[in-house]
Amino acid sequence: MTSFWQREITSKRRSRLRKWLRRLLEGEERSLGPWGTFKLVSKLREETGGEDLSRLWHVVNSLHINFYEAWTMLEPVKDAVGDVKRFAKKLKSSI
């Protein structure tokens, strides 16, 4: 069972994370740095308890790599589009 202060601290961290993510999406924040997107998704997973978010992120990242390297056939890419949409929806709901 979590105490009031643990919940309050978690709530404040979540609030800071949401504000930072909003600035990032609006183009005001540009300090992701190396591995930044992976750190961001990891933080969101911790804050929201969404293991699915992490899994979906790997699909999105794989498609991003495929954009440059073109190693995946068309059908798996088409299948992954639904996962990308789910990732975007989960990301928006966590802001």
Q: What CA–CA distance (Å, rounded) separates 61 from 64?
A: 5
The phi, psi pair for 12, rounded to 5°, reads -65, -40
Mean pLDDT by 10 residues, the chain (95 residues): 53 69 64 68 78 86 86 88 89 74
pLDDT at 24: 64
Q: Using the structure block, give the residue that is written with the tokens 């009031």.
A: 4
Closest CA to 91 of 63, 46, 57: 57
Q: Which pLDDT score is estimated for 3?
A: 53
Q: Structure tokens of 25? A: 């999406």
Length of the chain: 95
